[in-house]
Structure 1
């Protein structure tokens, strides 16, 4: 019993210390850059987001998606002109934390539990 109480107190202390800053309103709109590594190569995606649209450029190809805000921390992206079945799936995005000009987010296809994470930098 004593070990359980000590464990719970330790957990509470660490939870309070590791509280992340999250101010998503600064990142709802603007121009952004997302850098990721694909097969050992650095890939850069740039996009501009308004309240209702996101225009994204990756490898010279530009796509437009609708943006539907669920709340200040979450939104749904739906491609407006999907080229295949995979692109027809909506993507759920959720802000995890913010720091300076960057935010960390998690995303997954709507209805799927497998989530991935990434970090985006606001460039304008």
Structure 2
């Protein structure tokens, strides 16, 4: 019985050491970033620059500009300023899940779409 109590206490103390994921979202509200995703089985990298109100994305030699509306420190909505198709008209909701010194992991989806995707963006210094 005593062994079980000691073992239980040790397990609880180890579990208590787990810190919640770091979320210093304000460090990533502005800056230059890169993001790599897999499209049709191939890795594709885009870069983007973000201010508090605007995000400019560079992908395959093309540039897109979106307005940025911050919901809170860790969530924002992107709306393409000059959409060229119906798909580009949909706003994108982005939620920062965790941060590190140089990157953040996020979840994103088109507003109205239940499918969510995850990615990691790296700050370019």
Query: Partners in 1 of 2:16 and 2:76 — Cα distance?
Result: 26
Do the aligned partners of residues 16 and 57 (structure 1) sit closer, same or farther apart at CA in structure 2, a change above 3 Å counting? same
Query: Partners in 2 of 1:15 and 1:114 — Cα distance?
Result: 33
Query: Partners in 2 of 1:44 and 1:83 — Cα distance?
Result: 21
* Gap runs ≥5 in structure 2: 1-10
Number of aligned pairs? 114
* Displacement after TM superposition at 1:40 (Å): 2.8
- Pairing 1:1-124 to 2, within 5 Å after superposition: 17=18, 19-124=20-125
What's the TM-score once normalised by structure 2's chain length? Answer: 0.84
Q: CA RMSD in A?
A: 1.9
Is the radius of gyration larger for structure 1 or structure 2? 2
* Displacement after TM superposition at 1:16 (Å): 6.7
Q: Secondary structure at the match of 2:112?
A: coil
What's the TM-score once normalised by structure 1's chain length? Answer: 0.85
After superposing on structure 2, the runs of 4+ consecutive aligned residues of structure 1 that deviate more than 6 Å are none
* Gap runs ≥5 in structure 1: 1-9
